[in-house]
Structure 1
């Protein structure tokens, strides 16, 4: 149940826009943010950092662009063609430029004048981690944990408040032994109860699956659900306060390690697992639950976020 002074669920997006916390861009699921929104989001990110502090993670940061071959080798392009974001640019001569400009001035479609580049928009913060670590050689004994924060894109245009095309994801990734990978994922599911308590958010864990494309994708999703490889922390957000995934807990088995030849210290193939924080969604959940006036939020909550 929302607090009495919280944002009415059916008007959340409109209230956020009216208050200037979100800024309309003309593209569904793409918003600008006010200073207040960014301050809360930074608090969520800092809280995530404290949650993972005991894991001794190595910090890596990557830009929002990914080598296209990485997405292709990770099989993202094949499994999720509907979500990908390819980067195109002009790569022609003077005659091509004249034709391109002419189409622009006439309001015609000029997409055929552009060429696909070697970059795509990063779909998940963990994607650049696997080739980067594989290039180092075998993993250290006991495996390792990586802390990564990235700007991500998924082509899911929607007027739903929390369904964003552009968003930030904080992830912790374990790479190493199969048993430790599963234990890492399960430990983070246990930790999520503390997040709900400290941030005073309603939520629960739910079995989930990735949005694989097509008939083959449906079978992959069923297998993922049957084996409970993907779990989500769902929190009510949005027009009808429907449960929305704000954290995900994923066991990849040896999927990424096999693709990138990631091996353990003894030469055997590694397993990987990750936990991801959707920082915009957590921020939206807080505004939905506690209202738009951050100064009026409970002192304990503001303290947990460092506000």
Structure 2
């Protein structure tokens, strides 16, 4: 007899996803995708009209991600793209090793691409190429399919997931005001969707012992907050949105300056699209017709 406790979300997962042989990577059903599309439209209706809209591919420049500092902070989460390189004969020989039962992956070499770990990283080098940041700053609406190497059976920790972000670039007081606005607004949006939530200070999962010090510093400086939603009664709440103040980190790295030469600060509000969608199904059930009227209206169901 198995000693494992039954998964309270098993029936939810069975209705929303189809296994693909790797934990945290799933095919998504029509029921699930329809809700994600409606949730996407709901978030789009909250967008400031001044925001520039960008949709990024699931890949980005390895050099840009290295420069951003991700490799130093989260090397264990990074997914790198590798490829067979060399002459036709060398590539064919590597492919034939598989047929022989040998390890063909030894012939792989890293490409100049990585899987995007967050939607906002490509924004900063893009802005850097444009020149000075205008006095009133910049606002972006970005989205991407993202990857973090965290194999898990839990529905709140996928390896392949979708992230939507509103990114603000400008003077520090503007970034802090932007973040505060969204911390308050996010709770109202959760109420519209009838999702129980609370806001709390948080830290990123920095790697190793040095990372523990970085996490403490991040908490002490109140640089990150999360909107936490429990999937079911008694469950540890899941971070479904985050509100981040990067200070001048990316401004220094990418040389983002205003016309007076002051380094720009950056911040973002991130929507975990898959976590929010799963939360809606967990809280309200699989029968959309029985969801609260206010939620159905908000999502145009």
Q: TM-score, normalised by structure 1?
A: 0.93
Aligned residue number for residue 292 of structure 2: 298
Is the CA contact (8 Å cut-off) linking 1:161 and 1:239 kept in structure 2? no
In the TM superposition, what are the counterparts of 1:112-151 in structure 2 within 5 Å? 112-151=106-145
Aligned alpha-carbon RMSD (Å): 1.6
What SS does structure 2 have at the residue aligned with 1:89? strand
What SS does structure 2 have at the residue aligned with 1:151? strand
What SS does structure 2 have at the residue aligned with 1:87? strand
Q: Deviations over 1:29-73 (max 9, x none)?
A: 11111111011111221121122235x211112111100011100
In the TM superposition, what are the counterparts of 1:254-273 in structure 2 within 5 Å? 254-273=248-267
Question: Which of 149, 155, 158 is residue 164 of structure 1 equivalent to?
Answer: 158
Shift of 1:238: 6.8
Q: Deviations over 1:196-227 (max 9, x none)?
A: 21000011011111111111111111100111
Is the CA contact (8 Å cut-off) linking 2:13 and 2:155 kept in structure 1? no
Aligned length: 297
In the TM superposition, what are the counterparts of 1:1-307 in structure 2 within 5 Å? 11-19=7-15, 21-53=16-48, 56-237=50-231, 241-307=235-301
User: Aligned equivalents of 2:204 and 2:97: distance in 1?
Assistant: 39
Is the CA contact (8 Å cut-off) linking 2:9 and 2:282 kept in structure 1? no
Q: Mind listing any 5+ residue stretches in structure 2 that lack a counterpart?
A: none
User: Aligned equivalents of 2:217 and 2:42: distance in 1?
Assistant: 33
Shift of 1:241: 2.3
Higher relative contact order (CA 8 A, sep 6+): 1
Q: TM-score, normalised by structure 2?
A: 0.95
What SS does structure 2 have at the residue aligned with 1:202? coil
User: Aligned equivalents of 1:251 and 1:149: distance in 2?
Assistant: 18
Report the CA distance shift for 1:302/1:221 in structure 2 as closer, same or farther (over 3 A): same
Q: Mind listing any 5+ residue stretches in structure 1 that lack a counterpart?
A: 1-8
User: Aligned equivalents of 1:253 and 1:17: distance in 2?
Assistant: 38
Q: Deviations over 1:263-282 (max 9, x none)?
A: 12322100001000000000
User: Aligned equivalents of 2:6 and 2:141: distance in 1?
Assistant: 36
